[in-house]
Structure 1
Amino acid sequence: MEEQNNTQDILNQVHESTPDTLHPLLDYIIKNGKMIVGGIAVIILLAGGISGVKYMNQQKMIKAQSEMGTILIKYSGAKQAEALAAFEKDAPASMKPAVQLALAKAWMDADRFADAKSVWADIAKTSPKLAPVAGLGQAKCLMLEDKAGEAITILQKIKESAGAAYAPSINRLLADAAEKAGNIQLAVQAYQGLLTSSPQEASFFEFKIKELKAKL
């Protein structure tokens, strides 16, 4: 009787410490044998394996985060971009967006706008939620390349689907691009949009609108 109680205690402890997904297998073993040692051993090994995989993944993530942090601190400009590009190849999938954003910025800091635009384009494809950010990044690169007209095309495209949260950033860059491209009417419209989204700067925007309208 005492042995049966001890056996039941052991089974209860294993049941409590085993992931829910393995409970059906454990229940089957309990119902079909007083103490199937081999079966219990398999469950313990599986449970330990699952915990081990989770631990290994956590350690891999910590190591990757540390490596990326070292790159950002140790390098700058083109060297940082090259190191990030190499790191991205084996980085955990959950870190890819952050690595790509840092990579795009590094290429821009190095005045490598073609490379930066390529990364921004990849971000837009692989991370749809970051598409508005990627569009702004591409437009900024084009502005820095004195390609205001092309920047306007991208900004008008993302403005249609980006949503209200991105409207101030888009209108601000669009106003600058339109003014540089000589599209006064579009610049005025962009500044008018900023009047409501950024009222703390209303006096400046009103001045710009008045100044631009005088050129029409």
Structure 2
Amino acid sequence: MTSPTDITRDPYRLVVLDMAGTTVADGGLVEQAFSAAAQRLGVRPGSDEHARQLAYVRATMGESKITVFRHLFAGEDGEERAQQANIAFEEAYGELVDGGRIAPLPGAREAIERLASEGRTVVLTTGFARTTQDAILAALGWQDLVPLTLCPADAGGRGRPFPDMVLAAFLRTAAVDDVRRTVVAGDTSYDMLSGIRSGAGIVAGVLTGAHDTDQLTRHGATHVLGSVAELPDLIARAEA
């Protein structure tokens, strides 16, 4: 069994990566899909209510989308409206993805392939539903890029900022014996909280998505990188 003094000599064999904003560029599709969903529920684009809801969506980037809609449509018939909004959001996002409005971020695939070649297990996670995650993977041709992909439903239903998806990756892959030898990377404050709460040893924020250095650092980032392309070198330095 590994002792506390031995932990620094163990490699980081598990790498848990966010998708949209971290490894995938979606060109603002989340906001477009949200607007379509909100409009279906009677929220007029350009209205004060739409602006308020959009501000909340931006502030909670990285969180499970159904959780966001439960907050926005709380009250009488809130769960029904949240489910309607979530279905409309997923449909709208899927249509935009099918329209070719998505691409890998520069260096993302190469970083994932390098990490795998170094003997690390890479897991891709998202706050979207499984159908949307699969649509993104298919659009990118990434269906076989990594051995495991996770959405909130795969981890008991709780998405970020809860640590459940990171811990599900830890349990399902058995890639490391100690969760502190896990690396988490993402572009939002919720990614950082999820990583810190899971006990991951490296929690890296990237500046290719929703949040800036200050937001990432305030929510627990151990490192802030320009992009995920820098992650393999960061891990190598941490193991040196």
Judge same fold: TM > 0.5, yes or no: no
Q: Which has the larger radius of gyration?
A: 1
Please report the TM-score for the alignment, with normalisation by the length of structure 1: 0.24
Q: Which has the higher contact order (CA 8 A, sep 6+)?
A: 2
TM-score (norm 2): 0.22
Q: Comparing both structures, which one devotes a greater share of its residues to strand?
A: 2
